[in-house]
Amino acid sequence: MRGRYCLRRSVLFVTTIFTLFGDANPAVGIPGASDDGQKCYRATHPEAVIRHCSQTISSAKLPPKAMAMAFYRRANAYNQKSESDRAIQDYNEAIRLNPGYADAFANRGAAYARKRDYERAIQDYDEAIRLNPGHADAFSNRGVVYARKKDYERAIHDYDEAIRLNPDHIGALYARGNAYRRRGDYDQAVRNYDQVVRLNPRHAQAYSNRGLTYAAQGHDNLAIQDYDEAIRINPEHVNAYYNRGNAYRRTGAYGKAVENYSQVIRLNPKHGNGYSSRGMVRFYQGEFASAAADFSEARRFAPDNLYLALLLHVAEARAGIQAQGAQTEMARRGDLESWPGPILAMLIGKLPEHVILDAGTSSDQPEKRCQAYFYLGQKRLMQQKKSEAAEMFRQAVASQASTLFEFEAAGAELSRLRD
């Protein structure tokens, strides 16, 4: 949420999950296995798989490859339960019993990836691909790991190979769209999401992420249509509500923005960005007491975010509430020399205003200039110096730091001052 010098307005992005590989033909069962062995193979619920496969493994009556299959099935169940360490132990046994078990290497790679042990994950995917060069899912999952390492070129190369092997590989198409979006190649991202929703018209995440891509291109109306569809498919899609709120905010539909952020908070009461974003819009609307309540709640989830402390102080002051946010922050942190700490000090009279003005005018960073002028403008409003405040807000807008809350809020303040 906080950049180097700024409180940036956040987006929420749905990333790619890892595919777990099952077995080729469940109807076959485990050759020579007992009834538990057959249930180990055919069960679908993780707890049932673990129970039956554990009994099969305890019997120790199967040949090595069949026993490897039992360990593999139990490992998959542990993976589904996000018990990565136990899953890895069982994949180790499956591989020891059957060193050519490509799917075991691939799924162990997924378990390592969940633990953020990306180098081991890549090693396992490499081995799975060596054993089975046609393993499209292994290419796709290795691409996900490269994407998490922000190596988008390698990620896209792996997704390309997965799609060459399986042109309808929805996971690889979706992940390739994500990689292109992260790389800033928005047209390619849209084309990939288009293919995903063509293959699966109920892929809510693809609609949501295509909406983000349209938004990045400045097409908020198209973005809103995609968020609408994502929410129609999944009425509890938190990210789609949040990003639709952002799109409505950018188009000036503040009431709808607040409605969407409120839905985010209803679905996830611990969503700090939901509170801070709703607080920002309420600030734009001049609803300063409500904004202060939202900023206060947001700070519970990000207590070290000085920008939220700034916003809380200003909103309280504008609402006529005794502003305690900045004073409390000063007492807790003590040293506020790093930006935006000096702004807090200026607002409560511990630092001369000219220090902030000098920092803004001398900076070659638009974000810092925008913030310096915006908060000086707030100080002028608190002093009832409206004409001077308006000039400060004009300078904040002139910075063109359009990704910042302070830039948009300065425009809202100018509109109020003109009314």
| Inter-residue contact 131 to 5 (CB < 8 Å) | no
Portion of the chain with pLDDT greater than 70, in percent: 89
Alpha carbons 271 and 261: distance in angstroms, whole number: 10
pLDDT bin (cut points 50, 70, 90) of residue 322 is confident
Mean pLDDT over 119-146 rounds to 97
**Tokens standing for residue 77:** 């169940």
Averaged pLDDT for residues 57-78: 91
Q: Are 272 and 280 in contact (CB under 8 A)?
A: no
- The predicted model gives 107-115 an average pLDDT of 96
**Which has the minimum average pLDDT: 20-29, 326-335, 384-393?**
20-29
The partner residues of 7 in beta bridges, in order of sequence, read: 2
Residue range 122-134: mean pLDDT, rounded: 98
Tell me, what's the pLDDT at 326?
Answer: 65
Confidence band, pLDDT 50/70/90 cuts, at residue 60: confident
Does residue 3 register a pLDDT over 80?
no
Work out whether the CA dihedral 265, 271, 274, 275 comes out positive or negative. Answer: positive
- 249: part of which helix (H) or strand (E)? helix 238-250
pLDDT tens per residue, range 146-160 = 999 999 999 999 999
Check pLDDT > 70 for residue 310: yes
The region of weakest confidence among 214-218, 246-250, 339-343 is 339-343
On the question of pLDDT at 325 being above 80, the answer is no
36 has a pLDDT exceeding 70: no
Average pLDDT, the chain: 90
Contact between residue 306 and residue 345 where contact means Cβ atoms under 8 Å apart: no
* For range 139-148, the mean pLDDT: 97
- The confidence band for 21, taking pLDDT boundaries of 50, 70 and 90, is low
Q: What is the pLDDT of residue 355?
A: 94
The residue with greater pLDDT, 303 or 154, is 154
- At 304 the pLDDT is 86
Of 59-68, 129-138, 277-286, which gets the smallest average pLDDT?
Answer: 59-68
| Per-residue pLDDT band at 373 (split at 50, 70, 90) | very high
Long-range contacts of 38-43 (CB under 8 A, 24+ apart): 40/70, 40/73, 40/74, 41/69, 41/70, 41/73
Spell out the residues 6+ positions from residue 282 whose beta carbon is closer than 8 angstroms to its own: 258, 288, 290, 291, 294
Q: Of 303, 273, 278, 310, nearest to 293 (Cα)?
A: 278
pLDDT of residue 411: 94
- Predicted local confidence at residue 375, as pLDDT: 96
pLDDT at 9 over 50: no
- pLDDT over 90, % of the chain: 78
Q: How confident is the model at residue 62 (pLDDT cuts 50, 70, 90)?
A: confident
pLDDT tens readout for residues 244-296:
999 999 999 999 999 999 999 999 999 999 999 999 999 999 999 999 999 99
| Amino acid 54: pLDDT | 95
Per-residue model confidence as pLDDT tens digits over 166-177 = 999 999 999 999
Whether the pLDDT of residue 358 is over 80: the answer is yes
Under 8 Å between Cβ of 112 and 132: no
Query: Which tokens in the block code for residue 364?
Result: 């070659």
Q: What confidence tier does 331 reach under pLDDT thresholds 50, 70, 90?
A: low
